[in-house]
Amino acid sequence: MPQNLREKAKLLVLAILALFSLALFSCQSAKRPRSKNLRLLFAGDIMAHTQNFAMKDYSLIWDDIREQVEAADFSFANLEAPVDKSKPFESYPTFNMQPSYPAAALDAGFNLISLANNHSNDQGSAGIKATALWAAQIEGRAQTKSEGKPQTRARPVFFSGITEGGQMSFRQFHWHEYKIAFIAVTELLNTWKNYEEINYVPPTKKGRAAFVQKIAGMKAALEPDLFIVSVHTSEEEYVLTVLPEVQKFYKDLLAAGADIVVSNHPHVIRPVELLGQKADKKIRKAIIYANGNTISGQRRLLNYEEPGQIWNYTGDGRLFEMELAIDEKGFFALNYKTTFITAFTPQGERSPVIKRLDENFIKTLSENGQKKDSKYYQARLDALKKIKDILTWQ
């Protein structure tokens, strides 16, 4: 072979080897665990009854948990009312919020918001469209101020729950190197009017099976690192237990590709089920069956005589936090924790604010001479502690 041909052949072999090495290195890099951990917080229903929207400064609602909500990378809540600035505040049975009320929750750090629930169409098509417009003006960009007040930590907000172009809305976004998908749906509507404008799933075997298939299709098409599904469940309110068919539905969603299913509507706290793999002893899936009310006016009076009566649960909620890391198989929980919260009306006020329901809060009440309240909230804390997490190994 002539010298020049031998040199060309040698260069070609070196080029092929270089490309092969680069491809091998890229594959190894893709499998290498990423170092940034993801912190999530899940709250429950944000409601606005008359005594809630009667207060002058809505930011006061969130002061006791603001730091905790902001510390998470993504903090979820269900917004249980339309947001239509052309209409006044309205309480039960057909809710409406002025934008100033949910804006205070966003300023407190909530940035993953479900708009799909049984009150989504309380104000008809006009209310749905107004809510969608309000969300569109906020979504995907960090807010710098609300009602003239600077945010303590500006960051993008993402919404799901109102259809777009006749199709279910969902959100896909990036955080650092992670790709996250989020969809919120409801199985329950108080009226059938304009149901096609809301992410609605019929609470039937056929309807649920179709939604499971949709989640499987989204998982395949989007390939998210983390897939969060919010379901406003069609179950009886004020019940602490979960129906077996609902448990099956949520586990079918996990099998189809969801990583976390968060459910609300009962207005009481229900268990969290954590699902781990026996092979590596890592928790990789979670179902939050209900986080109760984050803020509401449902518990207007404290039942001092029967603090365990079911209606007392409507004044309490849970913040469920997870810190996630990622390996070759995907996300897994490094740790998780529950913080109980309660709607507390300070002396001389008519509107409740959120307080952490813990021993320090109860001790403070006692030291302030509020012995009756201290005893009541201790009974509430004891009742909530009986709602245990479920750990399932697969």
3-state secondary structure 91-137: CCCCCEECCHHHHHHHHCCCCEEECCCCCCCCCHHHHHHHHHHHHHH
Residue 7, pLDDT > 70, answer no
Query: What is d(CA 113, CA 159) in angstroms, rounded to the nearest whole number?
Result: 5
β-pairing verdict for 226-232 and 178-186:
parallel
Mean pLDDT of 104-131: 97
Distances (CA, A) of 267 to 217, 236, 262: 31, 10, 14
Under the phi-then-psi rule, with left for phi > 0, alpha for psi from -120 to 50, and beta for the rest, what region is 149? beta
Look at residue 150 in the predicted model and tell me its pLDDT: 43
Q: Please, is 331 exposed, middle or buried when counting C-beta atoms within 10 Å of its C-beta (0-12, 13-18, 19+)?
A: buried
Q: What are the start-end ranges of the E strands in 115-258? A: 145-146, 149-150, 158-160, 171-175, 178-186, 226-232
Residue 212, pLDDT > 80, answer yes
How do residues 221-269 score in pLDDT, each as one tens digit?
999 999 999 999 999 999 999 999 999 999 999 999 999 999 999 999 9
Query: What is d(CA 104, CA 102) in angstroms, rounded to the nearest whole number?
Result: 5
Q: Please, is 173 exposed, middle or buried when counting C-beta atoms within 10 Å of its C-beta (0-12, 13-18, 19+)?
A: middle
Q: Do the beta carbons of residue 255 and residue 36 sit within 8 Å?
A: no
Look at residue 11 in the predicted model and tell me its pLDDT: 44
The residue written with tokens 């007392």 in the block is: 312
pLDDT band at 140 (very low <50, low <70, confident <90, very high): confident
Residue 16, pLDDT > 50, answer no
Residue 232: which residues within 8 A CB-CB, separation 6 or more? Answer: 78, 114, 116, 117, 118, 184, 185, 186, 187, 188, 263, 264, 265
Reduced to 3 states (helix: H, G, I; strand: E, B; else coil), residue 15 is: helix
DSSP 8-state symbol, 221: H
Lowest mean pLDDT: which of 246-250, 277-281, 382-386? 277-281
Query: What is d(CA 89, CA 153) in angstroms, rounded to the nearest whole number?
Result: 27
Look at residue 26 in the predicted model and tell me its pLDDT: 39
Residue 179: which residues within 8 A CB-CB, separation 6 or more? Answer: 172, 173, 222, 223, 224, 225, 226
Query: What is d(CA 295, CA 49) in angstroms, rounded to the nearest whole number?
Result: 9
Query: What is d(CA 357, CA 253) in angstroms, rounded to the nearest whole number?
Result: 32
More confident residue, 302 or 27: 302
pLDDT band at 36 (very low <50, low <70, confident <90, very high): confident
Mean pLDDT of 40-54: 97
Report the chain's mean pLDDT, rounded to a whole number: 90
